[in-house]
């Protein structure tokens, strides 16, 4: 065990960093797309079904196939990391859009009404009332998406994008369980750590008061 | 004779559904309170909401101090019109102090002014600011929440105050306390108020005039003492509906003994 770590420790650390980077980049992209999209859907609810449906379909594409589809695309295919980030972004969209939309729609309509009646502008209403109240819900979506991405990012190694999946693929190829575990255990721990950390953020963002559910 | 609020032949008929307001005309004099009575669905709330343009009438006009509300920008208009609703509508993620000062915050007033004004208002509605300023709505009783809601409505020093069943959810004793507080406050501020209620007692106690709506029409517009004595059938029916219990108890004195 000790010598295994001595031999692979620095590689694990490096792949972990890559893994984290892929996930982080994808999450930043997905958040930048999906949160505004979710907000827009609350303003134009007729679009909610088709858009969320489309995100849902993206979600059903097997990840290996998704990486494969993206690989031959012009600019994307030049670098494996680009392919991986775009694919992960696609998977992260659904939970974020859905939770943003549902979180804002779930706000007590009388509160939105009062915000208008008090003379808050649309922007003020959004930032002072809707966003803080839907915040925990949106964060829950980010959390789900992040954990999903950490998992799927292991497949990115299949197209040469690096990450902890590399150890797993190598382990499978050489029938070396130690290598598989050397990739799988850090990946699982990373997922748990992200889940825990974002859970804390979510709790901090929740409106004070007795546990009152997401729509409180 | 200054009308703070004037309704001129106000109609509201949504494209689908029945006509909710039908030719309503009356005035609310500066510094007075008009109570709007009527059964559920009579159009009381709809009428109230035409004043701050939460609803745009489909006919007629609403004047605020002589100016058609339609000529005002809705945001500016609403900041000048206090609004209190039954379920308080306090924002659960804000302290009492921030709830009260929210309109000032929206106006971009400096924090120091906001805090000072909000504290004064909390005190004015009977909540000691030092104790209550940092409390969140879930830490307040129903009556206390309603007081915060009232303070919030008054924060921007509105020209008029609109109240929609403000005390409807409170027990009779708390409601009586709130009514006393409100009466003193309205008098000291010389505030013009439009109060929607279905509680006859509340209308009699707080209203300088009582307007009765029935099916979207103005059925009566009277002073409280006229309202009680009126022989107009729909007014009489409304008054009698409130005295049934009393009449029964008086009519059958021996039964419970």
ipTM for the complex? 0.84
User: Which of B89, B136, B166 to mutate against chain A (most A CBs within 10 Å)?
Assistant: B89
Q: What is the pLDDT of residues B245-257, one digit of tens each?
A: 888 888 876 655 4
Q: What is the mean pLDDT of residues B11-35?
A: 90
CB-neighbour burial class of residue A180 (10 A; exposed 0-12, middle 13-18, buried 19+): middle
Q: How far apart are CA B24 and CA B21, in angstroms?
A: 7
| Span B228-256, average pLDDT | 82
CB atoms within 10 A of CB A216: 18
Q: Are A67 and A105 in contact (CB under 8 A)?
A: no
Q: How far is A111 from chain B (nearest CA, A)?
A: 5
What one-character DSSP code corresponds to residue B209? E
Maximal C-alpha separation, chain A? 69
Tokens 């007081």, residue? Answer: B147
**Residue A213: pLDDT over 50:** no
Q: Per the CB < 8 Å rule, is A110 touching B91?
A: no
A88 closest CA partner among A1, A7, A152, A138: A152
Whether A119 and B103 lie within 8 Å, measured CB to CB: yes
Find the closest chain B residue to A216 by CA distance. Answer: B92
3-class state of residue B56 by DSSP: coil
Given this model, what pLDDT does residue A171 score?
93
Average pLDDT over residues A28-47: 94
Q: Is the pLDDT of residue B129 over 70?
A: yes
Higher pLDDT, B146 or A211: B146
To the nearest 10 degrees (0 to 180), the angle between helices A2-43 and A177-205 is 40
Q: What's the token pair of residue A42?
A: 């609350």
Question: With an 8 Å Cβ cutoff, are A119 and B77 in contact?
Answer: yes
Q: Which residues of chain B neighbour A133 with C-beta distances below 8 Å?
A: 91-93
For A205-209, B100-104, B148-152, which range has the lowest pLDDT when averaged over its residues? Answer: A205-209
pLDDT at A210: 60
**Band of residue B127 on the pLDDT scale cut at 50, 70, 90:** very high
Distance from the Cα of A131 to chain B's closest Cα (Å) equals 11
Q: Are B78 and A119 in contact (CB under 8 A)?
A: yes
Percent of all residues in chain B with a pLDDT value above 90, rounded to a whole number: 69
Strand order in the sheet with B192-196: B81-85, B160-164, B192-196, B33-37, B209-214, B217-222
pTM of the model: 0.82
């Amino acid at each position: 065990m000790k010598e295994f770590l001595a031999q692979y420790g620095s590689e694990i650390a490096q792949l972990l960093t890559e893994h984290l980077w892929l996930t982080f980049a994808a999450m930043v992209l997905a958040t930048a797309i999906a949160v505004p999209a979710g907000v827009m859907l609350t303003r134009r609810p007729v679009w909610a079904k088709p858009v969320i449906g489309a995100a849902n379909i993206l979600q059903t594409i097997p990840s290996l196939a998704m990486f494969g589809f993206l690989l031959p695309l012009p600019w994307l295919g030049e670098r494996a990391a680009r392919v991986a980030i775009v694919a992960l972004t696609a998977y992260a969209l659904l939970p974020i859009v859905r939770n943003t939309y549902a979180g804002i729609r779930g706000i007590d309509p009388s509160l939105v009404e009062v915000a208008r009646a008090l003379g808050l502008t649309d922007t003020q209403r959004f930032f002072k009332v809707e966003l803080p109240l839907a915040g925990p819900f949106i964060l829950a979506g980010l959390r789900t998406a992040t954990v999903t991405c950490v998992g799927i990012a292991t497949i990115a190694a299949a197209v040469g994008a690096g990450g902890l999946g590399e150890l797993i693929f190598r382990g499978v190829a050489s029938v070396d369980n130690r290598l598989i575990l050397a990739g799988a255990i850090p990946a699982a721990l990373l997922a748990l750590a992200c889940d825990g950390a974002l859970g804390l953020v979510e709790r901090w963002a929740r409106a004070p008061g007795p546990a009152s559910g997401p729509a409180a | 004779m200054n009308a703070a609020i004037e309704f001129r032949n106000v109609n509201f008929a949504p494209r689908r559904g029945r006509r909710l307001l039908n030719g309503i005309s009356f005035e609310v004099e500066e510094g007075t309170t008009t109570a709007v009575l009527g059964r559920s669905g009579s159009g009381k709330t709809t009428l109230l909401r035409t004043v701050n343009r939460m609803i745009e009438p489909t006919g007629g006009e609403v004047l605020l101090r002589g100016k058609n509300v339609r000529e005002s920008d809705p945001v500016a208009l609403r900041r000048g019109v206090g609004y209190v609703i039954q379920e308080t509508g306090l924002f659960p993620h804000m302290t009492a102090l921030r709830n009260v000062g929210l309109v000032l915050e929206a106006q971009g007033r400096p924090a120091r002014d906001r805090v000072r004004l909000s504290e004064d208002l909390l005190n004015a509605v009977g909540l000691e600011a030092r104790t209550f300023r940092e409390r969140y709505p879930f830490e307040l009783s129903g009556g206390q929440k309603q007081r915060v809601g009232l303070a919030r409505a008054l924060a921007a020093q509105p020209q008029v105050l609109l109240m929609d069943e403000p005390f409807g959810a409170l027990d009779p004793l708390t409601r009586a306390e709130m009514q006393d507080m409100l009466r003193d406050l309205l008098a000291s501020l010389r505030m013009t108020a439009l109060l929607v209620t279905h509680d006859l007692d509340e209308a009699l106690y707080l209203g300088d005039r009582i307007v009765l709506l029935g099916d979207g029409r103005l059925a009566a517009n009277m002073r409280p003492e006229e309202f009680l004595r009126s022989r107009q059938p729909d007014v009489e029916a409304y008054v009698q509906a409130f005295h049934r219990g009393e009449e029964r108890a008086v009519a059958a004195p021996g039964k419970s003994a």
